[in-house]
Structure 1
Amino acid sequence: MFISLLSWLILSVSVTAAPFSRATEGNSRHKLLLISFDGFRWNYDQDVDTPHIDAFCKDGVRAKYLTPPFLTITSPCHFTILTGKYIENHGVIHNMWFNTETGAKLPYYPTQGVSEWWDNGSLPIWITAQRQGLKTGSIYFPGGNATYRGETVNVKKVEPVTFKYDNETEWRGNVDIVMKWFTESNLDFVALYYGEPDSTGHKYGPESSERKKMVEQVDRTVGYLMERIEMHGLKSKLNVIITADHGMRTVQKGPAVNEIILGKVDDFSFQDVKFNILDYGPTGFLLPKEGKLEKVYQALKNAHPKLRVYKKEDIPQRFHYANNPRILPIILNGDPGYVVHGRIQVQFNKGEHGFDNEDMDMKTIFLASGPSFKKNVMVESFESVHIYELMCKLLNITPELNDGSLYATKDMLNAVSQDIGSVSQPPPDIISRSGGFCGSLCTFERP
């Protein structure tokens, strides 16, 4: 399908609502707030004074770092958090909706309103929660503007077409809206999204002074949130998870850098390609014309020392990024710091993500505080695919089938919360997939 400009402008209505399901009577579960600060690298608060983040962690738990799924970009990583599935299994494989037959592509914002892109067999946690009697909300969260099997999140606020991600007044206003939703509308779960420090990291680079100032703004917002939770009497009723989708890395560029530009590869021709997604950070996708796959692959596989080229079926299994029909036959990925240009050099960001999820600069944060969590505790790193099972336990709902396990996060819960419901058994390879699990606890201090 193709969405016209007028159609996706209509999708940007700022606040909409759907009928509430009746919450379970007599339910003693705590409420849950999920916050994502897009592009917050795991160590961003180590070169900035962040007293409010520190206080939040001392009142709860912090992971050493969080490993996102591959592809490390916004919509796919957020949908992994919402569904507990690797990207190949939930199907939101890119920020862009596309159609290989017509050649149509939509950028990030209008893709948020294309329900068929999101609704392809996986349910976000808010739909599962609503089906089990809870009330939910979303503010700007990726996937929040879509319909799933005819259902939408109960209450949502959708980004306007032109939106300043760094507006601190708006940030605080959204915290106030969340507090009203929890207290006046009695919502059980809210997902709240901030588009920073991602935008600043892209524009100025992850090591810039501008990024550091943005982290200070994030810290002030965490302080404001803690203040409002106290003011509204939610301290003993509300669990808060603060996380992000991915990290950020400095882009290698300039006259002394041998940048990856496919248009300069001698044996490669765009005439052999039917469809492509290129010039979108370090990852590219090619659909060769019939009979041209091997020619295209052979031309590119050794074309640049910093370029990894995979046939879809040969991409390393650890990426969990092959078994989906939306993924194109040839996948390109630049080594950390190197982006993939198409015909000419058109990317000018100083910071990027989308690199290998084992790259430490792609790691992100996981912080949690509230009545269900232990206090002043550091836990081992784990994969973001496991957050879903944790959230389902906190809300006392039955999860959909997923790729995660509560085994990876259960030890961050206090004794009372661990007794709620059952703990799923760990998959055989959970330790290797998670980079460790929460079986090792220590007093909180900065990693």
Structure 2
Amino acid sequence: MRLLRLLSILLLAACAGCASQPRTEAAAPATRRPLVILVSIDGFRPDYLQRGHTPTLAALAADGVRAKAMQPAFPTLTFPNHYTLVTGLYPDHHGIVNNRFTNPDTGAAFVFKDRYTTADPTWWGGEPIWITAQKQGLRTATMFWPGSDVAISGVRPDHWLYYDGSMSSSERVDHLLHWIDLPAAQRAQFYTLYFDAVDHASHSHGPPSPQVDAALAEVDDALGRLVAGLRARGLYDDTDLVIVSDHGGATTSKALRTYLDDVVPLADIKVGNYGVLATVTPLPGKQASVEQALLKPHPHMTCWRKSQVPARLHYGSNPRLPPILCLAAEGGIITEHAYENQGGHTSVGEHGYDNIDPKMQALFIARGPDFRRGLVVPGFPNVDVYPLLAHLLRIQPAPNDGDFAAVAPLLR
């Protein structure tokens, strides 16, 4: 009898620890607020689901909602799109206009791989969802999401880490589960999780490569580990999982390269960026000749004055953008001969191209108590993810460019 009493006490304690979650008064006073976990698989194209290496993702999609594709913001680059996903603002409006750019007033540079330049909170406009949530009484935890290690408006998530590329996909999941296991007073209601293995493999070996297949399997295994961890804690059916990517990827070709020094004298311009999206400032007295050279048609490159970028791209008004923007055709790169002659690295796979390009489209899968089941929907812009997250968290969204009506049909 004493043994039975002891077992009963232990079981009651265990159940109390895993089931306790705060309630939401405004949206659903009779039910627990679900956990919300936003997962990004960097560089995951929607058609990768057909390659047979992602059974966990396939199962989540079958039991939830999948978009045929999600349209990334332009430019289809990592930092601009990750910040768009959590602010609901186009890059022109939140200010992270590229992976690398310069403040024209101060000359300061933003370089996405340099923590010391990205740490300045003045770069980061808008209000990321973790701040929106914290203002309204929720706790948050972020695993490597771009911007989450910055004190934006003086605020960081309750739990966060500096980016560490050496941490494996499974280790990232284990750390997130550790956060979920914290005592109730410290436990978050909103989490982000970031995987970069697919994007790295695509850059190094190209989207069609077996290395990308291996990365897909690695990330899918990690997601399986997350699902199993949530099930073991009795939380799987109380968790809204939203799985996205920031962009797709395309194979590059030397035949599609544009050498800027074949088009315009480099002595007449200042180049802010080479690559898929090149940014150019004519030097004093050279504006007319530079525009004449760049703005005419080119075989594998299109250039615009920033004020004349097509309106559908929602890009070109931010003062951090230089006067002329040049976009490579899919598979192309804008470079210069000296860089190539000196052995400069060019990726086998790239992104940053036009956001209507099928190979640039992003992933959207969602599964949980708030979502319909077995539903496939047309594509929608990724700015709509932010108001969706605000709805899932039962909070009032900050001003944003998204349209909740576009994603409302996904919900029960």
The answer to whether the 8 Å contact 2:99/2:111 transfers is: yes
Q: Deviations over 1:44-98 (max 9, x none)?
A: 1212232211111122111111100100001100111111111111111011253
Q: Deviations over 1:119-168 (max 9, x none)?
A: x3x110111111111111111000101122222222111114xx236x24
Q: CA deviation at 1:304?
A: 3.1
After superposition, the Cα gap between the structure-2 partners of 1:185 and 1:131, relative to the gap in structure 1 and judged at 3 Å, is same
Q: 1: distance between equivalents of 2:130 and 2:148?
A: 9
Matches within 5 A, 1:33-52: 33-52=37-56
The answer to whether the 8 Å contact 1:81/1:388 transfers is: yes
Q: 1: distance between equivalents of 2:78 and 2:300?
A: 23
Q: 2: distance between equivalents of 1:24 and 1:343?
A: 61
Q: CA deviation at 1:367?
A: 0.5
1:54 aligns with 2:58: yes
Q: CA deviation at 1:401?
A: 1.2
Q: 2: distance between equivalents of 1:156 and 1:330?
A: 37
Q: CA deviation at 1:104?
A: 5.5
Which structure 2 residue ranges, 5 or more long, are not aligned? 1-21
Aligned residues: 380
Q: CA deviation at 1:100?
A: 4.4
Q: CA deviation at 1:102?
A: 7.1
The answer to whether the 8 Å contact 2:180/2:187 transfers is: no
What secondary structure does 1:332 align onto? strand
What secondary structure does 2:38 align onto? strand
**RMSD over aligned Cα atoms:** 2.0
Match of 1:278 in 2: 273
| Alignment-mate amino acid for residue 353 of structure 2 | F
* Structure richer in helix, relative to its length: 2
The answer to whether the 8 Å contact 1:135/1:154 transfers is: yes
Q: Which stretch shows the higher mean deviation, 71-80 or 109-118?
A: 109-118
What secondary structure does 1:207 align onto? coil
The answer to whether the 8 Å contact 2:143/2:176 transfers is: no
| Alignment-mate amino acid for residue 65 of structure 2 | V
Q: Normalising by the residue count of structure 2, what TM-score does the alignment of the two structures yield? A: 0.87
| Alignment-mate amino acid for residue 272 of structure 1 | D
After superposition, the Cα gap between the structure-2 partners of 1:89 and 1:103, relative to the gap in structure 1 and judged at 3 Å, is closer
What secondary structure does 2:226 align onto? helix
Q: Deviations over 1:188-230 (max 9, x none)?
A: 1111111121011000000001001111111111211111110
| Alignment-mate amino acid for residue 233 of structure 2 | H
Q: Normalising by the residue count of structure 1, what TM-score does the alignment of the two structures yield? A: 0.80
1:193 aligns with 2:194: yes
The answer to whether the 8 Å contact 1:58/1:376 transfers is: yes
Residue in structure 2 matching 1:310, options 301, 304, 309:
304
Q: Which stretch shows the higher mean deviation, 231-240 or 98-107?
A: 98-107
Q: CA deviation at 1:307?
A: 0.6
Q: CA deviation at 1:170?
A: 2.4
Match of 1:292 in 2: 286
The answer to whether the 8 Å contact 2:101/2:272 transfers is: no
Match of 2:333 in 1: 339
Match of 1:406 in 2: 404
Based on CA coordinates, which of the two structures has the bigger radius of gyration? 2
After superposition, the Cα gap between the structure-2 partners of 1:24 and 1:301, relative to the gap in structure 1 and judged at 3 Å, is same
The answer to whether the 8 Å contact 1:341/1:347 transfers is: no
Match of 1:371 in 2: 369
Match of 1:164 in 2: 166
Residue in structure 2 matching 1:384, options 382, 385, 391:
382
Q: 2: distance between equivalents of 1:402 and 1:364?
A: 20
Which structure 1 residue ranges, 5 or more long, are not aligned? 1-22, 415-447
Matches within 5 A, 1:18-29: 28-29=32-33
What secondary structure does 1:409 align onto? helix
Q: Deviations over 1:225-250 (max 9, x none)?
A: 11111011112321110001000000
Q: CA deviation at 1:328?
A: 1.0
Question: Percent of counterpart pairs with the same letter?
Answer: 33
